[in-house]
Each structure stands twice: as structure tokens, then as C-alpha cells.
Amino acid sequence: MNATTPPEPGALQPLLPSDPSTIAGYRLLGRLGAGGMGVVYLGRTAAGELAAVKVTHADQADQPDFRARFRREVEAARRVSSPWAVPVTGADPDAPEPWMATAFVAGPSLGEAVTAYGPLPERSVRLLGWSVARALAAVHAAGLVHRDVKPGNVLLAVDGPRLIDFGIARSTGETALTATDMVVGTPGFLAPEQAEARTDAIGPPADVFALGCLLAYAATGRPPFGTGAVDALMYRTVHDEPDLTGVPEGLLDLVRACLAKDPAARPTAAEIGVRLVEDTPRDGAEWLPAPVVRTIAERSARMLALPEIDTTEGATAPAAPPKSRRGFLLLAGGAALAAGGGVTAWAALGGDGDGKKTPPPPRARRWTIGVQADLTGPGKDIGRAQERGVRLAVERFNARKDKPFTLDVKVSDDGGVRSRALAAARALTGDRDVLGIIGPTSDYTGYASLPAYDEARLPVITTSAGLNLLINPAASRGVSMVRACPTHSYASMFLTYYVEAKSRTVRPGILQERTDDSYSWQCAVSMKFAFGQAGIEALPRVIPVGAKRLEKVLGEMVDAGMDAYVHAGIAPSAIRAARELDALGFTGMRVAGQHVFGQEFLTGAGKAAEGWIVGAPVVDPATRKEAAAFTAAHRKAYGTDPAFYTGETYDVTNLLVEQVEKAAKGGGRPDRTTLAPLLRAAKSQGVMGGYTFEEDGNLSAVGTFVYAVENGRFKPLEFAPAGPPAKAEGT
């Protein structure tokens, strides 16, 4: 067995007497496969979640470069955010026997299904290609190349396929740890540049070539370059045309384009996904043939019926088992960010208290607050506002006469680019004087940088990244993260409750625009759920990347009786929606979320933006009397009023500094690995409001403020409600 390739699912073998019974909180139920480099077990958490747990042999771990390779595999898998890629649920590359756990998929691989039941029908091939293309688009967006897309690395589930195995994935352009003359990949499903070991030429187009081979295989039951000796396969891949006999006519042009010999002539993975989704009929039928669905059902039933197992020898001492992720339930609670009295963080940090003479502080030490932000990319306005908030808080602390130490600020600019995020994070985690991180600015740089922060157990507080995957205790992800803003899912529900409370909508339209697919999906699903709570049937529509057909779809929604419009997408498509709805004379409420809140929408939509309702995780400092001193300090330092996100970032920096001071115990070095739990348990009243957190690190309050566009500006209105209007009236 290749150590990085999971075995075919379904063939569960009993544990051997020498096998451990637990690995880091995973109860091992049996063997999924084994080879010279390690074993893959089926594991179960205390919450009942199944996982494929790969454990390498200790002698392998002692080999030069092995741990570096294994750690890179873990990081590569963690950097990919896609519903069509199997996620990592836990890992420890530094254990005596390094291990990694991924979500378990009970279905067969594509190779197993085609071998057992023959080629897939055209509709199944299209949906397979669409999902795998989206997974590869996420891989490439993370700055990676998978390099081994093949039938054995695509698992089939009832709700769609899953791409697995990042063992030989590489960052784009990376050649380290790989011999320049070594062919990497699976013959028959690799690109000409891989077959010729042209390392410098291997990039995302190589994965697209492999996807073309995969589609041809799924449609015909055979690889497009045949079978046989490896040398013959490699020669045909480089020099011969593929055999596409039997590929459905509607797929031929796309498959040929994927299999172009010239990498530059191939479409991107994102483009393939768009072409497939636009041309695939949506008739509501199962995406897989009945025999494959039955196989999945039978294997799922066997997994549910697994018996308890006897304790085996050599058990690894378990760590605390991962906790289940909280369900999709609205947590009750007051609006802790609402305006209110109390001592502000600014006042608490300033001066000598009761005026008594303060004893001299211990010998001065200088420690550092790290900032990871987008200072030069698409989110630079938010990133720069956040940096200013951190600097103001640190300057205020350093002005104290009784301070037990002095603070510095160290900034790492990720440019809003996912492929730069991990390096930006490591620039901070590698500095032992950095005690905590404020940031990152965006969802995906946050997700890509988490492995570094989790590994270092360095506390991270974000005021703008709402991606749900940033905190997932069940997957041992985000254990260092504290989120001082709502997730996109919760923010969208709160915004929907506002629509219900302020309008009499009976036919709201929800447009999901997939340029930022994870964000739009979270928004759309949550909005539909919230409307459903009130018995309101929404009118949902989905458009592909780049907002193609947006105007046509909006016209259809208006004709269908839409009386309120909710935009689950980003600013460029919201601008087009605003203009089109204005042209159509639509007068109903028009609503959008966090990724539309900004100057881009106001400038781009112009007069068509007037009247739009937009939710954001920030409050206007001008509405907060508690923020007067903070605002004055910002004007003095920067010559302007504070921008959105500056005040919230100032508050959470103060919160971090408070916990650092407590942990310092009069000037000693704080243990930075202990700060994240302290932050999660803290309650703080800042200049912008109050902050309390759930045990998992998510904000427990509402945190979604509503603005109306008026005269080209965002006019602050109020906090969105924390629950459906009917429930609010009954309390």
C-alpha cells in the first residue's frame, strides 16, 4: 500500500493483537488497509463520528525528510476548503508514530464502482466532473497541485464524490523534496509534462488533464490512453491522441480540451465546473445508478452496525476526544454588543486608578502582539483599519505608568492571497516573543494559516473572518481561534430575521452567486432555513461563478412574484443586481450581507444602491458615546475618524492584552499556549460593546449590525434580532 493512499472502503479487517485500541481520542474499530509504511484504521470519536486514521510506522518516521513530507501532506489537505474534498479531522506529525485522520466516506471509489457496475451514465459523469472540478478549483486556489487525480482517489457518496489523498500534492512551483527526474502520479491518469518529469511545467493544468482522463474513464470504463506496461502508457500519453470512443457527444469537446497536450490550451478547473453545471439537466434524479447507491447504503449500514471491540495491546494513551461540532441551532442570548454603559476598555487601561503612587514596575520586558492582515490586496481597507486598531491599543497600554512590560506590534501582510497565508502565519509563530495574533482579515487566508497557529497553540482573534470552518473542535481545527464576529451562517439568519420583522414578505427571493462559493452557500442555506422557521417559502436561485445570466434570472424572479430580494454573493454581483432591480422597477426590500458591505458597492451601484439593507459585524463608532476617547485618539494619530473594523479590533486587542497581563503574573513570561482558553472564557466590555464567547471560541452574541444605504453612505440602523420575530415577541 502506498502510505498516502487509503484502501478501498468497505473491506474492514479486524485489529491485530499488536494494534492500539485508541489513537488520540479515536477508538479504533478495525483496519481499512496496511502496507510497508503504515496502517489505515477505521476510528470513531466519543461523539460517534467515523474517521479514516492513517498511522505511520515508527521506523518510517525516523527516516530523513519523512516527517517533513508527512507534515506537508497534512498542511496541504488542511489548506483545501471544499465540500467535495475529504477534510482532515485531526493530525499529529510530531507523534512517535505520526498520524492523520480524515472524514470517513463509506462509499466505493470511482474505480471500484466502474469495475463492478460498468461506465456511468452521462448525467452521473457530468455531476461527477462538476464536483471534482470544484474540488480542484479549491486545491488550485490554495496554491496547490494535487498531481494524482485518478479513479481510486475519488470516493462516491450519496450526496456527491469526494477527492482524497494529498500525499504528493505540492505548492505551485515547488520542487523541494522531489527528485527532478522522478515521475510522480499514476500512469494513465497523468499529464504529458508529468510523464516526461518536466517538474517546472507541472501546475494546475496537469490536474485538469487528469480530470479529462477521469471523465473519459467514468464514461467508457477504460483509461483514454489504454492499459499495459508503464513505459507504453507514458509514451502514448505524450505522443498519441486519446481513445474517446464511447464518450457521450455532449462531453467530447470538454474532454478533448482537458486532454490537450499543451498545458496552456486546457481550461481551468473553475471553467470546467461552470461548463458542466450550465449544461447538466436538473431533473431531480439520483446522481448515481441504483446499484452504486445500494452499495453505498449497504456499506453505510455496516458502519452503523459495527460492534464494540476488545481492548488490544500497545494502546496509545488517548488525548481528550474531539467534541462534536454544535448543531445548526440558533443559540439564545442577549445582544452583548449592543450599546450600553459600564467602564470602557479605554478607561480601564489608562492612568493610575485611584491616584496613589504606583510602585516601580519589574524589569521591563518587551513582548509582541502579532497582526496577520491583508494590507495590499482586495481587503486592504479592512486590513489597514485592523492594524490601526491594534496599534492604538498597544500605544495606550505602553502609556501606562504601571505597566509590567512593554508591547511591540509585528505585522505580517498576507495580501489576501491564500497561498501566502501560511508563510505569513509562520513568520509570526516562529517569533517566541509573539504572544497572540489579531487577524487574519479574510476567510480563506484565515483557513490556510490555521495549521501554523494550531500547531503553535498561539491564540488568534479575528473580527472579520466568518467562515464556519475556521472553528471546528470535532475536527481538531481552530483550537487557537477566537472569533469576535458571527459566522456567515448566523449573520445571515439574523439578517433574515430582520427582513421578517421589518417587511411583510411572503415570497422572498434568494440569489446564490457562486464566485465565493463557501460564503454564498452558507448565506443561502441559512437564509432559507430562517425563512422556513417563519413558515415563509423562499424563492431560491443559483447562478455560476462570475454572475452569468444574473439579469435574466432576476427578471424571472420578479415575474415569479418576488416581493423581497436577498443577495447571497459578493459586491460585484450585488452591483449588477442593484442596477437590474432598479431598471425593473422593483420596490421590495433589498438585502445583502458582510461581503457587500464596503465602498465598492456604494461606488459601483451608485443611485441603484439607495435603500439597500446591508448587514456587517461592525458598529459605527460615531454611534457609541463610549468610543469618544478612542475616536479622538484615532484622529490625533491618523488625522481621520476611525474606519469600520478599527474599533472592534482595538477592543479585542485590549482583551488579549488583559489576558497576557494576567498570565504574566507581575512581569514573568506568559505561556502563550494557555491564552486561547482564557480568551474564550473572558467577558469584556469595550468601546464598541461587549464580548462573550462560546466554549468553542465562537462569538455568543449577535454581532450583526444593520445599515441602510442613504445618500451614498451606510446609515446605521440597529442590531439584527437574535431570533425569529414571533419568538422575540413572546419573550
At 701-719, the pLDDT tens digits run 778 999 999 999 999 999 9
Q: Cα–Cα distance between 261 and 565 in angstroms, integer?
A: 46
- Residue among 347, 414, 319 nearest 376 (CA): 414
Instruction: Please report where in the chains the cell 417559502 appears, as a residue.
Output: 537
Which residue(s) pair with 30 in the sheet? Answer: 42
Please provide residue 415's backbone torsions phi and psi, each rounded to the nearest 5 degrees: 65, 10
Set out the domains of the chain in order of their start, with CATH numbers.
22-104 (3.30.200.20), 110-297 (1.10.510.10), 345-486+627-700 (3.40.50.2300), 488-616+709-729 (3.40.50.2300)
Give how far Cα 175 sits from Cα of 168, 179, 182, 296, 335, Å.
11, 8, 11, 39, 51
pLDDT at 304: 59
pLDDT at 363: 44
Q: Helices (DSSP H) in 479-559: which residue ranges?
A: 488-502, 517-533, 550-559
Give how far Cα 571 sits from Cα of 143, 440, 516, 575, 597, Å.
24, 20, 11, 6, 8
- In this structure, what C-alpha cell is assigned to residue 108? 466505493
**pTM beyond cutoff 0.75:** no
* Ramachandran class of 342: left when φ > 0, alpha when ψ lies in -120 to 50, beta otherwise: left
Residues of the chain with pLDDT below 50 are 1-10, 173-183, 284, 307, 309-363, 727-731
Q: Cα–Cα distance between 1 and 314 in angstroms, integer?
A: 23
Helix (H, G, I), strand (E, B) or coil at 156: strand
Which residue type occupies 12?
A: L
Within 13 Å and on the Cβ side, how many CA atoms surround 15?
A: 22
Query: E strand or H helix at 22, and its extent?
Result: strand 22-23
Positions annotated as catalytic residues are 148
